[in-house]
């Protein structure tokens, strides 16, 4: 079953611009996680935000969480060509025993 839905499915921007990706989910959660995947590689954890947090920062990344709307966003500021990757949100299901990934957003940053 798919818990998270992401939009847009694909995003193409110029280097230096900001990129925003959104994630919506269906059930109550205790945390939401964002991951990046470069082509053909494993996933890399970016940020974990807990249900009692509204915003979290890590370098050029900013994640927000709105539990009333069951949605989260990932903002990448001052994008670089190296940010080109797929980005997934992921939420625990069934009392935290399963981590389910959204469909993902493919980000392309043009230099």
Partner 1 sequence: DTEVTQTPKHLVMGMTNKKSLKCEQHMGHRAMYWYKQKAKKPPELMFVYSYEKLSINESVPSRFSPECPNSSLLNLHLHALQPEDSALYLCASSQDGYNSPLHFGNGTRLTVT
First to last CA, the chain: 37
Structure tokens given for 8: 């847009």
Output the smallest distance, CB 16 to partner 1, in A. Answer: 27
88 part of the interface to partner 1, by CB under 8 A: yes
CA-based radius of gyration for the chain: 13
Q: How many residues lie near partner 1 (CB under 8 A)? A: 23
Give me the 22-51 binding string for partner 1, x by CB under 8 A, dash otherwise. Answer: --------xx-x-x----xxxxxx--x---
Nearer to partner 1, 9 or 111 (CB): 9
Pairing of strands 43-50, 55-58: unpaired
Among 65, 79, 104, 107, binds partner 1 (CB under 8 A): 104
Phi, psi (degrees; rounded to nearest 5) at 81: -55, -35
d(CA 8, CA 45): 20
- Interacting residues toward partner 1 by CB under 8 A: 2, 30-31, 33, 35, 40-45, 48, 88, 92, 96-104
């Amino acid at each position: 079953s798919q818990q998270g839905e992401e939009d847009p499915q694909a995003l193409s921007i110029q280097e230096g611009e900001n990129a925003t990706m959104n994630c919506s989910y269906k059930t109550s959660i205790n945390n939401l996680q964002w991951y990046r995947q470069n082509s053909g590689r494993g996933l890399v954890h970016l940020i974990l935000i807990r249900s009692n947090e509204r915003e979290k920062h890590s370098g050029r990344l900013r994640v927000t969480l709105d539990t009333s709307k069951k949605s989260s966003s990932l903002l990448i500021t001052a994008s670089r060509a190296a940010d080109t990757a797929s980005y997934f949100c992921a939420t625990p299901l069934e009392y935290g025993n399963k981590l389910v990934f959204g469909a993902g957003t493919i980000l392309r940053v043009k230099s």
